[in-house]
Amino acid sequence: MKEEQVQKITVAGERFAKPGEEFFFVGEMPECRKCRFRGTCLNLEPGRKYRIESVREGHLMECALHDGGVLAVHVTPAPIKALVDPKKAVAGSTVVYEPVAAPVSEEDEKYLAPEGLVKGDRCRIVDIGDTIKAGNRSYRIVSLVVL
């Protein structure tokens, strides 16, 4: 189920600026304070995961952090895999993210409190994955997009 998401314009390093690339936005760096593109570059939320949807036509812009310069790109929030109660695992539904605190295999630990999600985030379930056992309960691995 593909759903239209709100796109934002930001900039990405020239070598990285390709559709489909995903990144975590870390926020402002000291080098950004005097940059004329600061407003465009810093309009994302620190700690969140984004996906480059398209690269805007235009010229390469200088950047103190990216030695190859930057290009303007359209980004959307990227899906993040996490565990949810199987009763709530309905594609297209909106859920409030609650981290799961349960014993899981080392391989599945990445789904307990994945980077980019914070307790209380409103998210849309965009994909349903496997069921895993955690202690005496089962959970579904789902892909969530923060709203």
Q: What is the pLDDT of residues 39-79, one digit of tens each?
A: 998 999 999 999 999 999 888 999 999 888 999 999 999 99
Whole-number pLDDT of residue 5: 72
Helix (H, G, I), strand (E, B) or coil at 71: strand
- Domain C-terminal end among 22, 42, 77: 77
Q: In this structure, what DSSP letter does residue 28 have?
A: -
85 and 24, same structural domain? no
| 140 and 129 Cβ atoms separated by less than 8 Å | yes
Number of domains in the chain: 2
Looking at the structure, tell me whether residues 12 and 49 fall in a common domain.
yes
Q: Are residues 112 and 134 in the same domain?
A: yes
> Do residue 124 and residue 135 come from a single domain?
yes
Cα–Cα distance for residue pair 84/112, rounded to 1 Å: 9
Residue in the block written with tokens 């593109």: 37
Measure the CA–CA gap between 67 and 76, rounded to whole angstroms: 25
Domain that holds residue 54: 8-77
